[in-house]
Amino acid sequence: MCGIFAVHHHPDVVGFKPKALQLAKLIRHRGPDWSGNFVKNNTLIAHERLSIVGLDSGAQPLVNDDETLVLGVNGEIYNHRIIRKEFESEYNFKTQSDCEVIIPLYSKYGLDAPNHLDGMFAFVLYDAVKDRTIAARDPIGVTSLYMGRSSGTPGAVYFASEMKSLVEICDDIISFPPGHIYDSQTDKITRYFNPSWWDGERVPSTPVNYKQIRETLESAVRKRLMSEVPYGVLLSGGLDSSLIASIAARETKKAQNPADQSPDHLSGVDDAGHLSGATSWPKLHSYAVGLPGAPDLVAAQKVAKFIGTVHHEHTFTLQEGLDALSDVIYHLETFDVTTIRASTPMYLLSRKIKAQGVKMVLSGEGSDEIFGGYLYFGQAPSKEAFHSETVQRVKNLNLADCLRANKSTMAWGLEARVPFLDKSFLELVLNIDPKEKLITKERIEKYILRRAFDTSFDNGQAGTEPYLPHEILWRQKEQFSDGVGYSWIDVLKDTAEKLVSDEELANPKPEWGDDVPTTKEAYWYRCLFDEHFPTQTCADTVMRWIPKSDWGCAEDPSGRFVKSHLSAV
C-alpha cells in the first residue's frame, strides 16, 4: 500500500505544487519509505511509497520511456508477473514494481485495463498525448480512494487515498466507488466490474463444492504472500483469521523447502500459468490483541500452537483504547459505531506490529459478508432474502470492514491483505445456492466454510492433516470488538453516557440533517469526527450501520445481543 494525491487540469499547477506536496504529506503514514511527484501539462501526481515489492526500483510515479504516460498507484497487483510475460516483447519495463504493468495494460486496453488486474488497488494515470486522466479503484474497495472538486478551481478534479488530503481544498468530496473508473474525457465515473453475482435479486442455484471452496481460498492466500519484506497474519482466534493463518502457515512451510518447488513456482507463476507465492518467505509470525484475559487471546494462542506460528500477543488497557479514539477516527474518516469499536484494537495492534519490522499482514475480512456469517442472518425469512443481504453487505464493504482493515493498519504504514475478497473466491461462493448457507438448528453460521476445511470428512485421503483444532473450526461467531473483551464496548458506552447529556442527544446539531445519532455513543463519535472533518461534504462520505430490526437485529451492533449468541440471556 501507499498514498496518492493527484489533480487533473489545475489552472496553475506549478504554483499549486508546494500546496499539493503538503497535502500529500498528510497521508505519509501510508507510505513512509519515499516520496515522489511528477508534473505534466496541468496535471500533477504525488506519491508516498510503502515498499513491499520491487524494493530497489519501484519508486513512483511510474512513467513510460517518452514520459507520455504517468502513473501513481496505491495497492498490490498479484498477477503482475503473468501480465509482464504478455508485454515483455512490446513494453520496456523500467522497474520491478508490480504496479508498472498498468501502463502497458492501459496502452492496449484503455478503460478496460482494470479488468485485467487481480489485486487491490487505486490508481491515477495521466495520458499526456490525449491530455486525459483516468482513475480506478479495485472491485470491492479494499484500497481507499477519494475524489473531490473545488468551486475555486472549476474544471479541476482531485484524487487522494484519504479524505484528509482533500478537505482543505475541495468543497465537494466523494468516496470513489469500488469497481469503477473515471475518465476525464467524459468527466464520468462508470462501472467496469460486472461479476455474475452483482444482481442480488438473481438467486444462484449452484450446488456447494467443498473441495473447490478449500482450493480456491488456498490459492487466494498463496498469491497474497507475494512480498519481499517480512509479513505476518492477524490472528483473532475466530474462524476466519484462523483459517487464513493456517493456510499461510502451510504455504510458508512448503516454500521453505526449495527442493519441493519448481523454478517457475518460486518466480511467482507455476508451469500452468497459475499464480503462486513470493520470492521471499520469512518465518510466519501471528499477532493477536485484546484486553487481558480476552476470549480472542485464549483462542489465538491455541491456534498459533496448533499451526506452528511464532505468536505475539499484545494487550491494551481500557484507558489506552479511550485515549486513542480521536486519532482512530481521524485515520478512519468515519463515525460509524461498529467500525470504530473494532478499529481501535486493530489500530493499536498495527503500531506494535510495525515496530517489529513487519510491513504486511493477512487478515480475515469479508467472510461474514459472503457466507452470511453474522448471527442476525439466522433470522433471514428466506434463502432469497439471505442471498440479497450477502450481496448488499459485500457491496458496502468499502465503507465498513475494508475501510477498517485498510486505514487502521495503514495509519502505521502496515499493509493488510484480505484473501476472502479474492475475485475468484467471490465468484465461487456468491454463486452457491444460498440454501446451503442458511443458519438453522442443525447448521451453525458459515457451515459450508467450516465443512470445507474439516478434514474429518476427507475419509482418510492423503494430505488431510487438520487445518485447525475442532473447537476453533466450529467456534461460534464472535465479532472482533466483542472478542477483544466485552468490557471494551461497556467502557465506551459508559464514557459516552458521562460525556453526552440527555438534552444533547434529544437535540442533535441542525447541520446533521436527517443523519441523527440514536445513541450517546454514536453522538460522541460524530462530535469527534466533526472536530477533524467539519464540513457536510465530509460527513456525506460516511455510511453508518443500520440494524435489520425485522431480522431481530439489535440496535447495538455487538453480537452478544443477538438471541442466538451463546451468552445471550
Q: What is the pLDDT of residue 565?
A: 54
Has residue 262 got a pLDDT over 50?
A: no
3-class state of residue 383 by DSSP: helix
Residue 263: pLDDT band with limits 50, 70, 90: very low
Q: For the chain, what is the radius of gyration of the CA atoms?
A: 23
Q: What is the pLDDT of residue 240?
A: 96
Residue 64: DSSP 8-state: -
Q: Tell me, rounded to whole angstroms, the distance of Cα 170 from its chain centroid.
A: 25
Q: What is the pLDDT of residue 563?
A: 58
Alpha-carbon torsion, ordered 307, 312, 313, 315, to 10 deg:
-160
Task: For residue 189, list its beta bridge partners.
Answer: 182
Q: What is the pLDDT of residue 55?
A: 66
Asked whether 321 and 348 are in contact (CB, 8 A), the reply is yes
Least confident of 237-246, 313-322, 468-477: 468-477
Q: What is the pLDDT of residue 270?
A: 52
3-class state of residue 553 by DSSP: coil
**Cell of residue 147, nine digits:** 475524489
Half-sphere exposure of 562 (CA within 13 A, CB side): 24
Please tell me if the domain spanning 3-191 has the same topology as the one spanning 210-561. no
Q: What residue type is 425 in one-letter code?
A: F
Domain boundaries, the chain: 3-191, 210-561
Helix residue ranges per DSSP H, 381-440: 383-395, 401-410, 423-429
Mean pLDDT of the region 82-90: 95
Is the domain 210-561 a CATH 3.40.50.620 member? yes
Least confident of 12-21, 312-321, 552-561: 552-561
pLDDT tens digits, residue range 542-559? 998 887 888 888 777 554
- List, as one string, the DSSP characters of 514-544: T---SSHHHHHHHHHHHHH--SHHHHTT---
Q: How many whole angstroms separate alpha carbon 226 and alpha carbon 248?
A: 12
CATH number for the segment(s) 3-191: 3.60.20.10
Q: What is the pLDDT of residue 557?
A: 58
Whole-model pTM: value is 0.94
Mean pLDDT of the region 150-174: 97
pLDDT tens digits, residue range 428-469? 999 999 999 999 999 999 999 999 999 998 765 545 799 999
Average pLDDT value over all residues in the chain: 91
Residue 330: pLDDT band with limits 50, 70, 90: very high
Half-sphere exposure of 545 (CA within 13 A, CB side): 20
- Burial (CB < 10 A; 0-12, 13-18, 19+), residue 248, is buried
pLDDT tens digits, residue range 384-424? 999 999 999 999 999 999 999 999 999 999 999 999 999 99
Active-site amino acid positions: 2
